[in-house]
Structure formats: structure tokens, C-alpha cells
Amino acid sequence: MNGMNGMKCWKTRVAAVLLHVAGADELVVLLRTVESERDALMVAEKIRHALDQPFVLAGLRLEISCGIGVAINPEHGDNGIELSRNADIAMYHAKESGRDNVQLFRPDMAKART
């Protein structure tokens, strides 16, 4: 695990993963290599499932849910700003769709937010 400007990098069986805490309740996960949209969605679902498990903190049982937005290069942007913006739009779409789900960015999502 290497720290760089507040980011952490883990090498996994899937790919090198870069994790950045973007806000109080937002994380950015960058996968270095992804063969297909299906692979990216599978990783996102694994993250969602892991966060969906109850955990105990200070003797209290806590349960959380999450909405995950996925954007893939180059289909959804060819730079970090576009990819981040489009993943964020997909994440908000996931939250508006009842939370606890994963959404792949679609151009119509951006039009609906304007």
C-alpha cells in the first residue's frame, strides 16, 4: 500500500486500485485496467456487497447502504475531470433510484440533471 497525496494504492488480483476519500461520505476508486463494462460493474457490486454487511463499532451494530456510480474511459470521458463528473452523476442517479445499487453512466443521466 503506497500513500500519495491522500490516495492509497492496493494491488489486487483484479488490477491496481487507487482509492481516494473525496468527501465525508464519498470515495473514488480507480481501476487501472478493466477489460469491459461488465468487469467494472462486477468490482462495483463487490464493493457494494462488502459495504452492505452489518458491522459493530463501539458495541453498536451499524448497517449502511451505498449508491455507486461507474464511468469508464474512453466511453464516458477521456480525462479525469469528465470521468469523475460522469461517475458522480451516475452515483446520484443510484441514490435517487433507492440507494444500495450500482449505476453505469449513460448520457441521458447528464441531461436529466440539467
Which of the two residues, 72 and 16, has the higher pLDDT score? 72
pLDDT in tens, 23-70: 667 777 888 788 889 999 999 998 899 888 998 999 999 998 889 999
Give the C-alpha separation, 34 to 1, whole Å.
20
Q: Computed over its alpha carbons, how large is the radius of gyration of the chain?
A: 15
Nearest Cα to Cα of residue 32 among 59, 7, 52: 7
Nearest Cα to Cα of residue 88 among 32, 29, 47: 29
Q: Which cell numbers hold the place of 19?
A: 482509492
Q: Which cell numbers hold the place of 65?
A: 447502504
Residue 112: predicted pLDDT: 75
The superfamily CATH assigns to domain 2-113 is Reverse transcriptase/Diguanylate cyclase domain (3.30.70.270)
pTM of the model: 0.77
Nearest Cα to Cα of residue 17 among 44, 51, 37, 36: 44
- pLDDT surpasses 70 at 4: no
